[in-house]
Chains A and B, each alone.
Chain A
Amino acid sequence: MAVVQNRLTDIDPQPPLLEPGHDYGTLTDKVGDIVDRKPHPRAWIVTMAVASLLLLLFLNAVGYLFVKGTGIWGINVPVAWGWAIINFVWWIGIGHAGTLISAILLLLMQDWRTSINRFAEAMTLFAVACAGMFPLLHMGRPWLFYFILPYPNTMALWPQFRSPLVWDVFAISTYATVSALFWYTGLVPDLATMRDRAKNKLAKIAFGMASLGWRGSARHWSRYEMAYLLLAGISTPLVVSVHSVVSFDFAVGIIPGWHTTIFPPYFVAGAVYAGFAMVLTLAIPIRKLYHIEDIITMKHIDNMAKVMLVTGLVVSYGYFTEAFFAWYSGNIYEKYMMFSNRMSGYYAWSYWALIFCNGFVPQFLWFKRIRSNVYALFAISIVVSIGMWLERYVIVVTSLARDFLPSSWGNYHGTIWDWATYLGTIGLFLFLFMLFIRFVPMVAIFELKALLYSQKHNGKAH
């Protein structure tokens, strides 16, 4: 009775999650060789050199900051947050894709997370490390950072628990801790694989210690699966909570442009959006450089592009509702902020650049032709990263520069030291990421094998 015209496999062919031709051994070799057999490609050395230079720039910028104080930055009295907070939110947002891929997609049983979760999580860790720099440096006296922690002290002083800035401290430190644990737990079986493969004595000892005595017994696996699932459960609310708390930093205040109820979900979507853009920015060159296109396939790239499209639409919805309700509200401050201070006025360039990058450009992702073109995707992912930075620029700078009283208005510009610190953290990020590629299997080998197993035994090598 089944009548079928135009079979689905003909009219809508899907690339596989793992290209055919692999067995368990070749998968181990393919990923493991990158770490311990093959020489590193020249591109790795060049990137590492650039990253190291930028890292030096960062150390310089921070060193000079310690000598002179935060006055070397562009911050002034109405715009006291400036680039430091923009960069903080930007980096923290980027981290979110890693957690979403590893935790939420695991719970949703999405098998396309397998090839990309390891390096996405690594990206999360390094992005959080970069993000953490900015609030600490912005304090002016970072050596007194522990003042923000609630601890019994002789001055009988407690932080203001009603301030979202204090919530941030808890949110970010929890996020960093759980992400690190999650990443490391997932690494253990592969570290043991690397230990067993290692020919060099030093590597054997190092991987041996790092793999915590993993022997791959049934009991180990059973405990591991349970621990990993629990960590995924713990990480899942963090995907939402961290950036919601970051959005409260703004929305709990009453400044027009900050105080709006859509902020929490809109920030979370923006974070995932920026994060997936960064994963694509990293994945597209890496899969080519290390010839792992058969492991990180076009299916992964396509799915990531789709997630970017969805989150990009949510973010655009955020821009749209802000503008619409500013008009609908009939409130002069809301209207002024949206129409005279963002869409027009001194900072209009940043608003329209943001709409172009985050609202217009990702619309190309509706088309399958674009989603299957890695060059186009790479370009779009870079544009989105710029757009997400601009979004935070618009939020932080335009709102603070023009608050309720015209007498307290003031314009803001980043200085060369703002640039140096920002580019410096990009250096730090790349530096850590290049080390990660060098020393740790960047794809979860044992999860690939599980994927291969399920492909073989469900009879669908689709």
Chain B
Amino acid sequence: MNNNCDHPKLAQLQSRALVIGGAGAVIFLVGGLFFGREKFFQSYLYAFLFWNGLGLGCLSALMLHHMVEGRWGFMIQRILEAGTRMIPVMFVVFLPILFIGSRVLYPWMPGGALADSELIHEKAGYLNTGFFTIRSFVYFGVWIGLTFLLNKFSHTLDKSGDQRLGLRMRWVSGPGLVLYVLTITFASTDWGMSLEPEWFSTIYGPLFIVGQGLACLAFSTIILSKIAQDKPHADVMSTDYFHHLGSLMCGFVVLWSYISFSQFLITWSGNLPEEIPWYLNRMSPSLNVVAVLLIVFHFALPMFILMQRRVKRGATALVVMAVWIFVMRTVDVYWIITPAFHPKQLGLHLMDFAALAGFGGLWIYFFVAQLKKYPLLPLNDQRMEMALAKSGNGHSEAVEHA
């Protein structure tokens, strides 16, 4: 059970990821010399926010799983844990943005285009370089701390079988989720919202929280499909778990749409000069195409397709949907972040693709390496045994009524 290293599908994924990631990274670094520092860091920030968001999505899903202890959660627990262990790596990736890139990216920073505006002076209590740096360290400190505790408890439980560790994971996860929501709210404000420092929206944090959760669910579904047919999953897997993950994705798709639409409707109807520019910057013939893409392919179609029982229970169809949603997540993050750099323009650039592929390939490479380090299912966790017993050891459950 411990010998996961020769898992053929994972090995294949890992080698492909290394090739794509390596190629992307080389193009990105070389491209940086050609296209200049500004473009380099703009694409860098975009790719960082997406891939760091995936690790954070794993952290929130892991804590949610420890709170609700559903059957689906145990199937992907190790995937989520490996995902959280990428957060420290992303911290290192973030340092160049913090110390070099931020001055190019954020117009409120000293020397930035808006540094001398009256409004920015008004906001200087929050938007200043020192506080920004300290906050970034605090966010990563909180996330890495939670990652450390949850991983440590989980792996110790594997060895010792001390059930108190299961409860401890639950106890950490409750306050952990509160901390997660607060840190994401501030981090998204710092790293994303303050790219357009005059603008503000109270639902911006939840937009990131839900987006990260959705990306993580799609990613976990893809990885689970690669390991589901082999041991140890083969002994306990049933289509039900894919069904549950599909339902969760459907729910998150709807939640994302709800939050995005709420923000749009309220901002559009108010039409206030300090708020509406954010949408005006994202409305032009070329960017409208992206917006329509999001409405059709990030909301309407996936929602209706994922409502179909057949899709959720058919392994291939569900994986196709998961890949689809994962790709649409990159589009959404692009739409939220990059128009800040080139208002009203699509601005799609080779560097964006290179950064996304480079960071992503390497992210997945290290992720698989982490995933292989521990058993693919938790050992000796009675919470899992009890959850599985509820469905008659993982076999398809008929919702029975007397």
Contact = CB atoms under 8 A, between A and B. Distances in A.
A457 B200 CA distance: 55
A330 B202 contact: no
Given A265-B203, A454-B400, A7 B382 contact: yes
Nearest to A241: B258
Contact of B161 (A3, A12, A252): A3
Which DSSP category, helix, strand, loop or mixed, fits chain A's interface? helix
A460 interface: yes
A2 interface: yes
Contacts of B200: 325, 328-329
Contact of A328 (B123, B161, B174): B123
Contact of A3 (B119, B380, B383): B380
Nearest to B271: A254
B258 A329 contact: no
Interface string B3-14: 000000000000
A408 interface: no
Contact of A317 (B166, B181, B262): B181
B270 A458 contact: no
A227 interface: no
B201 interface: yes
A449 B400 CA distance: 11
Interface stretch (A177-185, A256-264, A385-393): A256-264
A321 interface: yes
A11 interface: yes
Interface string B257-289: 011001101110110101000000000000000
Contacts of B122: 330
Nearest to A260: B202
A252 B159 CA distance: 56
A6 interface: yes
B15 interface: no
Interface in A1-25: 1-9, 11-12, 24
Given A11-B164, A262-B206, A328-B189, A366 B123 contact: no
Interface string A343-356: 00000000000000
A449 B259 CA distance: 40
Contact of B400 (A2, A4, A321, A450): A450
B182 to A, nearest CB: 8
Contacts of A457: 400
Nearest to B203: A261
B201 A330 contact: no
B386 A8 contact: yes
Contacts of A248: 265-266
A9 B163 CA distance: 10
A247 B248 CA distance: 26
Contact of A251 (B266, B274, B382): B266
Which bucket holds chain B's interface residue count? Answer: 35 or more
B178 interface: yes
A364 to B, nearest CB: 14
Contact of B402 (A3, A321, A450): A450
B163 A329 contact: no
Most B C-beta atoms less than 10 A away, residue of A4, A8, A328 = A328
Interface string A416-457: 000000000000000000000000000000110110111001
A327 B125 CA distance: 9
A46 interface: no
A265 B259 CA distance: 8
Interface string B351-388: 00000000000000000000000000001101100100
Given A8-B382, A317-B181, A321-B185, A109 B399 contact: yes
A8 B163 contact: yes
Given A11-B167, A450-B401, A254 B123 contact: no
A196 interface: no
Contacts of B205: 321
Most A C-beta atoms less than 10 A away, residue of B267, B379, B392, B399 = B399
Contacts of A47: none
Interface in A292-337: 313, 317, 321-322, 324-325, 327-331
Given A265-B262, A317-B181, A449-B402, A330 B164 contact: no
Given A259-B266, A261-B263, A313-B178, A5 B206 contact: no
Given A11-B167, A329-B200, A330-B119, A5 B258 contact: no
A251 B275 CA distance: 13
A33 interface: no
A29 interface: no
Given A3-B160, A254-B270, A460 B400 contact: no
A158 interface: no
Most B C-beta atoms less than 10 A away, residue of A12, A221, A452 = A12
B126 interface: yes
A31 interface: no
Nearest to A259: B270
Interface string A56-81: 00000000000000000000000000
A361 interface: no
Contacts of A12: 163, 167
Most A C-beta atoms less than 10 A away, residue of B185, B205, B262 = B262
B47 to A, nearest CB: 26
B60 to A, nearest CB: 14
A264 B163 contact: no
Interface of B: 119, 122-123, 125-126, 159-164, 166-167, 174, 178, 181-182, 185, 189, 200-206, 258-259, 262-263, 265-267, 269-270, 272, 274, 379-380, 382-383, 386, 389-390, 392, 399-402
9 contacts: A8-B383, A11-B163, A262-B206, A321-B202, A322-B202, A325-B200, A328-B189, A452-B402, A462-B386
Interface of A: 1-9, 11-12, 24, 109, 162, 221, 225, 240, 244, 248, 251-254, 259-265, 313, 317, 321-322, 324-325, 327-331, 366, 446-447, 449-450, 452-454, 457-458, 460, 462
Given A317-B182, A462-B386, 5 more contacts: A11-B167, A261-B204, A261-B262, A263-B262, A328-B123
